[in-house]
């Protein structure tokens, strides 16, 4: 949109494994969403507002969308 504001569509797949769990199993969780990144002079790091929608149920039987907020760069 401009240098200060950017919109990003994303798709993500992954899983967090504990020490007693088998790694690299096929139990991956997928999500998609919309992210708005913007920079304000008062903060010296980018701000990120996201709406994440889980496509698969998690072990806690959660499914649906939720907001998220982050400050800083991604890796």
What is the DSSP track for 18-37? Answer: -TTSPTT-S--EEEEEEEEE
Q: Where does the pLDDT of residue 11 fall: very low under 50, low under 70, confident under 90, or very high at 90 and above? A: very high
> What is the pTM assigned to this prediction?
0.62
Asked if 29 and 54 count as a contact pair (C-beta separation under 8 A), the reply is yes
Residue 14: CB partners within 8 Å, gap ≥ 6?
28, 29
The pLDDT tens digits for 25-71 are: 667 788 899 988 887 777 677 788 888 888 877 666 665 677 787 77
């Amino acid at each position: 949109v401009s240098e200060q504001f950017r919109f990003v569509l994303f798709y993500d797949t992954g899983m967090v494994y504990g020490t007693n769990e088998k790694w690299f199993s096929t139990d991956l969780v997928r999500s998609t969403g919309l992210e708005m990144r913007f920079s304000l002079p008062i903060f010296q790091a980018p701000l990120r507002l996201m709406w994440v929608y889980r496509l698969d149920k998690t072990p806690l039987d959660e499914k649906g969308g939720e907001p998220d907020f982050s400050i800083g760069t991604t890796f």
